[in-house]
Amino acid sequence: MNQTPETPADQSKRDFLQIVLGGASAAFLAAVLYPIFEYLKPPKQAEVEVSSVKAGKLSEIEKDSGKIIKFGSKPVILIRTANDELRAFSATCTHLDCTVQYRKDYGTIWCACHNGKYDLNGRNISGPPPRPLEEYRVVLQGDEILISKKV
Amino acid sequence: MKTFLKKMYDWVDERVELKGLVDYMGKKYVPVHRHSVWYYFGGVSLFLFIIQVVTGILLLLYYKSGEELAFESIHFIMSKVQFGWLIRSIHSWTANLFILSAMIHMFSVYFEKSYRKPREITWMTGMLMFFLLLGFGFSGYLLPWNELAFFATKVGTDIAGVVPVVGKPLMIFLRGGDDVTGATLSRFFGFHVAVLPGIFTVFLGIHLLLVQRQGMSEPLHWKEDPEQKTMPFFPNFLLRDISLWLLVLNLLAILAVFFPWELGKKADAFAPAPAGIKPEWYFLYMFQTLKFIPGKLWILDGEVLGIGLFGAAGVLWTLVPFWDLKSARGEQNRLANYLGLFAVIYIIILTIIGWLA
C-alpha cells in the first residue's frame, strides 16, 4: 500500500475527528442510559397523610397486652400496661425495620428479628436497636381510643 | 438405528467438522489422588443448576406475582396442580443443596489452591456466580409472599440501606419504594427469573469454557507424586459424575417427599414479626453476627461495621489469586490456609449458634 507521510495538518484533523467521535459516542450513551436509569427509580406515590386513627374500644383491649394498629401505611403498637395506662409507639423497630410486639413475660416491647427490647416508654434498653421508638399520642374519648401523631 | 445415528453424525461432521471438537474434549483428563473426591462438587452444582432451571420454568407456568396472588398461586400449585407439591418442594430443596454444594466446591478449590495462576478468571467467575446464588436465594425466598419471607426481605433490604452514600437509593431500588410491598415482589420476581439467570448463564459459560480449555487443576502436592495417575474425563469421569447426579436426584426426591417445603402464613404488613424468625441457613452466620454487634460501637453504627467487615472479607476472598502469590509459585501458603480455616470455623460455629438460639 502506498502511504504518504503524515503531515501535522493530518494529525490535527485526526485529533479533531477523534474528539468529535468520542464526544458523540458519550452523548449517545448518556441518551440511552439516562431513561433506563430514571425508569428504575420507583415513582413517588401520593400517600394519604394520616394524622389520627381510631384504634378500637378500650373494653376490647386487655390489660397488660398490646396490639398493632394501622396508621396509614405504617404499623403502630398500642399498649395497655399492667397499671392500666395506654401508650402508643411506632411499631417499626429502629434497628432493621421489623415489626415489634408486646411481650407480657418481659413486660417490654420486643422485636423478634434480632432480640431488640424497648421499655414501655419506647426507649431502646437492650439488643441492637440504635434509637427509641417514636411515641404517638393516645386520647380516650369515652370508650373509643384515638391515636395521633405527636406534634 | 446405529447406522442412522452414524449417518446423522457424519452429516453434521461433514459440515461443521465435529472431529476436531471431539478430539479436543478427549484430551481432558482428571488427576487421581487422595483429594480427587472434591472434583465432583463442581459437576453436582451444575446438575443442581439444571434442575433449578427446569423446575423453575415449570413453576412459572402457574405462579402469579402480586400481593393478592403470589401466596394463593403457590397454594394452588401445592394443592391443585398434579405433582405441583413435588415440583415446588424440589425447587426449594435444590436451592438449598445448590448453595451447599457450591460452598463445598468453593472451599475445596480454595484449600487446594486451584485458583492460582492460570485459573484466576475461573475462580472469580465462580465467586461471582456464588454471589448471584445468594441473590437467587434471597429473591426467590420472597416469591411465596409469606410472613417469614416478608420480614426477611425487610431486614435484608434495610441492611443494604445502611451502606453509606449508595445504601438508601439501593434500598429504594430493591424495594421499588420506601417499604416492602407488592412493588418489591414484582421486582424480586423479575430479578429471580430474568436478570439473575441471564447474568448467571454468561458467567457459567465462561467458567465451563475455561475448565475445558485449561483442564483440571493439579494440586500442589501432585508434582511430588511418583505415580501421577490420571483418568480420562470422557467418558470415565463423566460417567462417574452422572452416577453421582442420579444419587443426588434420588436424595432430592426423598427430601421433597418426606420433608415437603412449607408454605407458612401469608405475609401481613400489620402483624408483628413472628417469634423465632430466622433467615435461611446460608445467611444465618451473618444474621447471628449482627445480633452480637451492639447498636453503636464508638462512632460507627453496628450494622455499618458488620456490613463493612463482611464486605471486606468477601472482596478479600474473591481476590485471593492476586494476594496469594506463594501458591502461584508452587509454595505452601500457611496464611491463606489459616484464613480459610478461620472462615470455615467461623461460619460453622455462628451458624450453629444461630440455629440453636
Residues of chain B neighbouring A127 (CB-CB closer than 8 A): 291, 295
What cell was used for B94? 435444590
pLDDT bin (cut points 50, 70, 90) of residue B141 is: very high
H or E element at residue B161: helix B147-161
Mean pLDDT, residues A98-106 taken together: 93
Q: Is B190 helix (H, G, I), strand (E, B) or coil?
A: helix
Residue-wise pLDDT tens digits, A109-119? 999 988 899 99
Q: Which tens digits make up the pLDDT trace of B287-316?
A: 888 878 776 777 777 778 888 999 999 999
| Sequence ranges of the domains in chain B | 36-222+231-266
Chain A interface mutation, best of B147, B155, B181, highest count of A Cβ atoms under 10 Å? B155
**Share of residues in chain B with pLDDT > 90 (%):** 73
> Residues near A74 by Cβ (< 8 Å), separated by ≥ 6?
A90, A91, A92
Is A96 an 8 Å CB contact of chain B? yes
pLDDT the model gives residue B56: 97
DSSP assignment, residue A92? Answer: B
- B144-153 pLDDT, tens per residue? 999 999 999 9
Question: What mean pLDDT value characterizes chain A?
Answer: 89
Mean pLDDT of the A5-24 span: 90
Do residues A100 and B277 make contact, with C-beta atoms less than 8 angstroms apart?
Answer: no
Q: Cβ contacts of residue A32 below 8 Å, gap of 6+?
A: none
Helix ranges (H only) for B162-195 are 167-175, 182-190
Residue A150 has pLDDT above 90, yes or no: no
Question: Domain A52-149: what homologous superfamily?
Answer: Rieske [2Fe-2S] iron-sulphur domain (2.102.10.10)
State the DSSP code for B259.
Answer: S
Helix (H) or strand (E) holding A70: strand A65-71
Please report the sign of the dihedral spanned by the C-alpha atoms of residue B3, residue B8, residue B14, residue B20: negative
The residue that leads in pLDDT, B197 or A72, is B197
Grid coordinates in use for A29? Answer: 450513551
Give me the residue spans of the domains in chain A.
Answer: 8-43, 52-149
DSSP annotation of A62 reads: -
Residue B321 has pLDDT above 70, yes or no: yes
Spatial contact of B211 and B122, defined as CB atoms under 8 Å apart: yes
Mutation site, B186, B270, B284, B301, interface A, largest A CB count within 10 A: B270
User: Any CB–CB contact under 8 A between A40 and chain B?
Assistant: yes
pLDDT range class, residue A2, cuts 50, 70, 90 = low
| Residue pLDDT, tens place only, B27-83 | 888 889 888 899 999 999 999 999 999 999 999 999 999 999 999 999 999 999 999
> What DSSP element (H or E) covers A110?
strand A108-111
Query: For residue A135, how many other CB atoms are within 10 A of its CB?
Result: 15
Cell of B91: 425447587
Quick check: A88 and A138 in contact, CB under 8 A? yes
Distance from CA of A127 to the nearest CA of B (A): 7
The partner residue sitting opposite A112, judged by closest CB among B183, B273, B303, is B273
This prediction has a pTM of 0.90
Compute CA distances B215 → A36, B206, B330, whole Å.
41, 14, 18
The CATH code of the domain at B36-222+231-266 is 1.20.810.10
Question: Which residues of chain A make contact with B188, given a CB cutoff of 8 A?
Answer: none
Looking at residue B51, its pLDDT comes to 97
Distance from the first to the final alpha carbon of chain B: 62
